[in-house]
Amino acid sequence: MAFRFCAPRLSKWVPLALLLSSNLGFAAEWIVKFKESQYNKSVPTFKHMSGVSVLSTHDTGHLALIKVESTASKQADQLVKALQTRSDIEYIVANIKMYAFEDLAGDPQRSKQWSLLKVQAESAWQIQRGGRKTVVAVIDTGVDYTHEDLKNRIWANEKEIADNGIDDDHNGFIDDIRGWDFFKKNNNPMDETSAKNPGHGTHCAGIIGAQGDNDVGISGIAPNVSIMPIRFLGADGSGDLYTAALAIDYATTNGADVISASWGAAVPRAQVKPILEAIERAGQKNIIFVAAAANDGQSNDTREVYPANAGFKNVISVAASNNEDQKPTWSNYGTATVDLASPGADIFSTLPGNKYGNLSGTSMATPLVAGMVALLKSQANDQRASLQAEDYKAILQASGDNVNIETACKCRVNIFHAVQQVVNHTLTVVPNAATLAPKATLTFRAIGGKAPYSFTSSHEEIASINPTTGVLEAKQEGEVTLTVTDAEGTHMNSRAIHVGQKTEAPAGKCPLEDPAMCALMCTIQPQLPWCQSGG
């Protein structure tokens, strides 16, 4: 199955839907997730199985990438069905192909970085400019690590000796001195441009960490942090689900603090389990995963878009705003699924070959937030403050400027206010915004101020909260604000807490536009709702 990525937009905003393609037959490659206790025993048996070739294995995720050799879709279908019945297998999903689509030419002469002014970056830099030990992984089309504004900010794997042909640090990758290319399977994650890729990864990297005060080009939002280039999309904009999962795990195991993911797809959650599991592994190491909400102008509350809709505590889902703090028509949104807004229209940044230019999209809004998280992490490290992944999301929401863009906080990020919150140990409700169904419960806590804390709800009839434990019980549809009070009597409110059923895709209707692809998925996963209803 082929589907499209969250691609950037240039000077003209042309909606790029995230849809499954109809030009691909039965998938030849599949990702098999083995049960952890069976992985080491099962993989060798697959290597000798008739009709199946094992192309690659991924020990961290207990995954195997296999190829079904049969040219007849019916025979391949039967084989996959048989594999799904094995007791040692947790799930099988198609190795979906991913694409970044062609964009229109931009204006390379525009040099004003309005986004930095909007989020008060220069004021924040008086406090914090980021530290070299704070690492942001850019998982994308690669990064031009020789660019004049990026070369001094590229992450270096100090445990690896360059060009000796040995895996010195025993991480499974030889000579990975500056990241890895999972598309070409080598140690050169250079951004390769084409008609479909103007330099997407390089542009994102510049938004995050282009070097400041060096008399050339621009400045990233976190000009002193390190950029870890990880490539899994090729010059034609294509990659796949399997290598995306491997790329996330590489960032996790090699010291990334933040992952910037300006890509995604509108597919059912079950189809992207390898990525979701990799994000959860990142969360276990307190790594924040910043994801683009997508660029087709739809609500993610009524449409599944991943990884943005992952819903994990360590995931920040980002919508785009323009220079008037409005939502561009192409940006996705959603009260329940999109956390906040960030400047993403006409963003000036680095492009391969020491060039610069404007791109637009949630793809651009996302690295700006990733860079902000890196600044906050650097500040927390300087203060030796212990903050969890979800705390950074709460701080960005609580400190954001109010805007009329439909996100969880109805806010646009302001890095100066956010850094001040960390510096001042400001009392903050965590999570700071949320949506939950009636009768559901959610535990809130507080950071900053002075413990112990007590909680109250603005409307107990809608949602009541235990003042001591912070456990909130939703009762009926509506909206409440929570107030936390610390030991010194300081009060602080949350953003809106919404009580109401999250709107799902219409029951019985396939969310994909191609009926053939829906029918194919029903063959593989007949339990899907539209399969049961014949939709």
List, by residue number, the catalytic residues.
Answer: 140, 200, 363
Q: For residue 483, what are the contacts with CB-CB under 8 A and spacing of at least 6?
A: 455, 456, 457, 458, 491, 492, 493, 494
User: 307: cis peptide before it, omega within 30°?
Assistant: yes
Residue owning tokens 């793809």:
363
CB 366 within 8 A of CB 115: no
Please list the residues that pair with 315 across neighbouring strands.
289
Residue owning tokens 């705003």:
321
Q: Which of 468, 516, 352, 495 is nearest to 410 (CA)?
A: 495
Q: Which of 260, 223, 271, 253 is nearest to 95 (CA)?
A: 271
Q: Which of 332, 262, 218, 273 is nearest to 31 (CA)?
A: 273
**Residue 34 neighbours by CB distance under 10 Å:** 22
Token code pair at residue 213:
């005060």
Q: How deeply is 286 buried, as exposed, middle or buried, from its count of CB atoms within 10 A (0-12, 13-18, 19+)?
A: middle
What is the 3 state secondary structure string of 330-389? Answer: CCCECCCCCCEEEECCCEEEEECCCEEEEEECHHHHHHHHHHHHHHHHHHHHHCCCCCCH
- The conformation of residue 504, written as its DSSP 8-state character, comes to P
Alpha helices (H) along 228-272 = 241-253
Residue owning tokens 């690669």:
142
Amino acid at site 105 = A
**Residue 127 neighbours by CB distance under 10 Å:** 15
